[in-house]
Amino acid sequence: MPPRSTGAPPRDQRHQRILAALATDPTVRISTLAAEFGVSPETVRRDIEALSRQGSVRRTYGGASVVHAGVQPALGQRERMAVAERARIGAAAAALVEPGAVLMVDAGSTTAHFARALAARDPEGTVLTNSLAVAEALGAAPRMRVLLCPGEFHPVERAVYGPEATSFLGRFNADIALIGASGLTAEGPSDVESRAGWIKRAMLERAARRVLLVDSGKFGKAHLERICGLGALTDLACDAPPPPELAAALARAGVRVRVAPPAPDV
């Protein structure tokens, strides 16, 4: 393998440049990126594999392509993406919950990590959720009351949706709503699923504190339907600082950004 040029960009910068290239061209070639970065094709291939595991790009023969705005992997696949990052986000968000709090938590891979992290803290309180994974995790905590939304069950997402669920949520007040999203831009969080968007908005409307949980692979991604503007949020829990443009928009909207601390060395 040829040595990397001393002027070659570090991994995080390469990832950002790959995503930037895909913003203007639906496909990129490994050979082209390797020449541009001054690294080996194998290095670029590993970069693309890492971005693919995050769900940020789709691997193709000899390169990568965009992930379309209306498409996302099923929950089972998402739970295997960016596992360490989402676990850190979940633990950081769990630390925000005070004893006795009433929570609303929507369905998703990152919110499932949050529920498991919170359950490990032996919490006391009440949670309303449309997610079976969240209900199962927090239902194991003896001092936690779990209220599961009614509605139409969707087995792929292991969650319930529909007007019955949103109407049910409208009957309650919550201290904190914790939601996930498919992407986050300066216009706000967005999601692939419209039915999920209605649940998220219903939860945000009923909570005093409104926390978005997203991993950094979703920064700069705009998906099918915008959930809300940044002003509807109070907090963002993530695994890495947002890029400058997004960070400035979050600051203007008064959103507190909470970057999860790195995992301790084993």
What does the buried/exposed string (b/e) look like for 186-209 if buried means 16 or more CB atoms within 10 Å of the residue's CB?
A: bebbbbbbebbbbbbbbbbbbbeb
Yes or no: is domain 76-259 CATH 3.30.420.40?
Answer: no
What does the buried/exposed string (b/e) look like for 25-36 if buried means 16 or more CB atoms within 10 Å of the residue's CB?
A: eeebbbeebbeb
Starting at the edge strand that comes first in sequence, how are the strands of the sheet with 225-226 ordered? 183-185, 188-191, 225-226
Mean pLDDT, rounded, for 178-197: 94
Distance in angstroms (rounded) separating the CA atoms of residues 192 and 196: 8
Q: How many CB atoms within 10 Å of residue 52?
A: 16
Distance in angstroms (rounded) separating the CA atoms of residues 129 and 135: 7
Residue 196 DSSP SS3: helix
Distance in angstroms (rounded) separating the CA atoms of residues 225 and 231: 17
Q: Is the model's pLDDT at 2 over the cut of 50?
A: no
The pLDDT of residue 89: 95
Read off the pLDDT of residues 212-253 as tens digits, 9 standing for 90 and up.
999 988 888 888 899 999 999 999 999 999 999 999 999 999
Mean pLDDT, rounded, for 67-89: 61
Q: What is the pTM assigned to this prediction?
A: 0.73
Can you state the percent helix, strand and coil of the chain, rounding each to 5?
40, 25, 35
What lies within 8 Å, CB to CB, of 227 at 6+ separation is 179, 181, 188, 189, 190, 191, 197, 200, 201, 204
Distance in angstroms (rounded) separating the CA atoms of residues 100 and 121: 13
Q: List the structure tokens of 188.
A: 């706000």
Domain definitions of the chain by residue range: 11-66, 76-259
Q: Is the model's pLDDT at 265 over the cut of 80?
A: no
Among candidates 259, 265, 156, 158, which has minimal Cα distance to 215? Answer: 259
Average pLDDT of every residue of the chain: 88
Which listed CATH number (1.10.10.10, 3.30.565.10, 3.40.50.261, 3.20.20.450) goes with 11-66? 1.10.10.10
pLDDT class of 264 with cuts at 50, 70, 90: low
